[in-house]
Amino acid sequence: MRLATYQHEGLRRCGVVEGEEVLPLPEGTDLLDLVGGAPVPETGTPVPLAGVRLLPPLEPPSVRDFVTFEEHVEGVRRSVSGEEGVPDAWYDAPTFYFANPAALVGAHDDVPVPPGCEALDFELEVAAVVGRPGGDLTPERAREHIFGYTVFNDWSARDIQSREMRVGLGPCKGKDAAATLGPWLVTADELEPHRDGEGFLRLALTAEVNGEVVGSDLLSNMGWTFEEMLAHASRGTTVRTGDVLGSGTCGNGGCLAELWGRRGRQDPPPLRPGDTVTLTVEGVGTVANTVVPGKAVEPVPGARRRPRDRP
């Protein structure tokens, strides 16, 4: 089943996607309730997908973005910090950072350039969505807690990211402006036929900029399964219904920064207003967002060097 949240005739609705139509669910239906186990109610008269604005499928309580593709780590590390190879610590556990749930945009929404950004980039990812809450899960139990999957594009201000991560924290504002989630939420059972013998989902991933393919990979090249990622995320805490777990960016051109690191130059160039990024995940769907100019905002001043007085 494919579940979507959309805007139609000024109203926010949820529905079941079938072919080129969406079958509306009753007004007031929240996709988060269905993710949590509520039964799917009867649908209404179909509406053409072409006539609706697709919104992020749900408003998640949290977004964890992992970094599970070794090839991506190797290329981006060289681009962002100038360091070679993959840190030894990467192999120890599926590392993640918390992203901004308030920054989510829909499958075809415009994406403004973040304030102060001169090196905007995309990131081709797949996200798993938690259904049943739980804590201290094993990978075996974790599979029962994954409701479904969606396409995730973690837009990145690479120049800002590079500067702020020198402090030893982050990414912060370099990843704070936008993240695409969509076009809909595909229930986990739909993707089971793509699972390989090691438990990975073997899905083809493709990234295009202005119609030109710049990257392609397989989701099964992840270093950890989504079940292992969810088990790690739940250690010592509770994952909640609707929590989003991003796979991290795939390799082989899943973002521009990886290519910059490998080629030693910004080729292809950073994204500019007018560029359209199209990301496709086999069995899930396609999102396509166009970059637009950002707002002019007042800059925050740098730190003042202070005396170290004591009371």
Rounded average pLDDT over 217-225? 98
Is residue 51 a part of any domain in this protein?
Answer: yes
Buried-exposed string 11-26: b where 16+ CB fall within 10 A, e elsewhere = eebbbbbeeebbebbe
pLDDT of residue 79: 79
Residues 21 and 106 occupy one common structural domain: no
Residues 151 and 45 occupy one common structural domain: no
pLDDT of residue 170: 78
Do residues 48 and 82 touch, judged by C-beta distance below 8 A?
no
Is residue 304 a part of any domain in this protein?
Answer: no
Q: Which residue has the tokens 């992203």?
A: 99
Residues 34 and 142 occupy one common structural domain: no
pLDDT of residue 102: 96
Tokens matching residue 219? 């989701």
Amino acid at 52: V
Q: How far apart are CA 257 and CA 174, in angstroms?
A: 13
Name which residue leads in pLDDT, 205 or 82: 205
- CA 59, 60, 64, 66 torsion-angle sign: negative
Number of structural domains, the chain? Answer: 2
Q: How far apart are CA 230 and CA 224, in angstroms?
A: 10
Query: What pLDDT band is residue 21 in, cutting at 50, 70 and 90?
Result: very high
Range of the domain at 9: 2-55
Is residue 40 a part of any domain in this protein?
Answer: yes
Residues 28 and 139 occupy one common structural domain: no
CA angle in degrees (0–180, nearest 5) for 100-80-108: 40
Residues 12 and 159 occupy one common structural domain: no
Residues 83 and 51 occupy one common structural domain: no
H helix count then E strand count, the chain = 6, 21
Q: How far apart are CA 302 and CA 94, in angstroms?
A: 34
Residues 224 and 254 occupy one common structural domain: yes
pLDDT of residue 278: 98
CATH number, domain containing residue 20? 2.30.30
Q: How far apart are CA 158 and CA 129, in angstroms?
A: 27
Is residue 301 a part of any domain in this protein?
Answer: no
Is residue 205 a part of any domain in this protein?
Answer: yes
Is residue 307 a part of any domain in this protein?
Answer: no
Residues 98 and 207 occupy one common structural domain: yes
Q: What is the pLDDT of residues 81-135, one digit of tens each?
A: 778 889 999 999 999 999 999 999 999 999 999 999 999 999 999 999 999 999 9
pLDDT of residue 246: 98
Q: What is the pLDDT of residues 26-69, one digit of tens each?
A: 999 999 999 999 999 999 999 999 999 999 999 999 999 999 99
Is residue 191 a part of any domain in this protein?
Answer: yes
Q: What share of the chain is helix, strand, coil (3-state, %, to 5)?
A: 25, 35, 45
Do residues 219 and 84 touch, judged by C-beta distance below 8 A?
no
Buried-exposed string 65-98: b where 16+ CB fall within 10 A, e elsewhere = bbbbbebbbbbbbbbbeeeeeeeeebeeebebee
Q: How many C-beta neighbours within 10 Å does residue 227 have?
A: 21
Is residue 305 a part of any domain in this protein?
Answer: no
Residues 15 and 137 occupy one common structural domain: no
Q: What is the pLDDT of residues 267-289, one digit of tens each?
A: 999 999 999 999 999 999 999 99
Residues 99 and 134 occupy one common structural domain: yes
pLDDT of residue 118: 96
Residues 22 and 144 occupy one common structural domain: no
Do residues 128 and 226 touch, judged by C-beta distance below 8 A?
yes
Q: What is the pLDDT of residues 152-187, one digit of tens each?
A: 999 999 999 988 888 888 788 999 999 999 999 999
CATH number, domain containing residue 254? 3.90.850.10
Q: Which residue has the tokens 């996607």?
A: 17
Residues 11 and 159 occupy one common structural domain: no
pLDDT of residue 2: 98
pLDDT of residue 77: 85
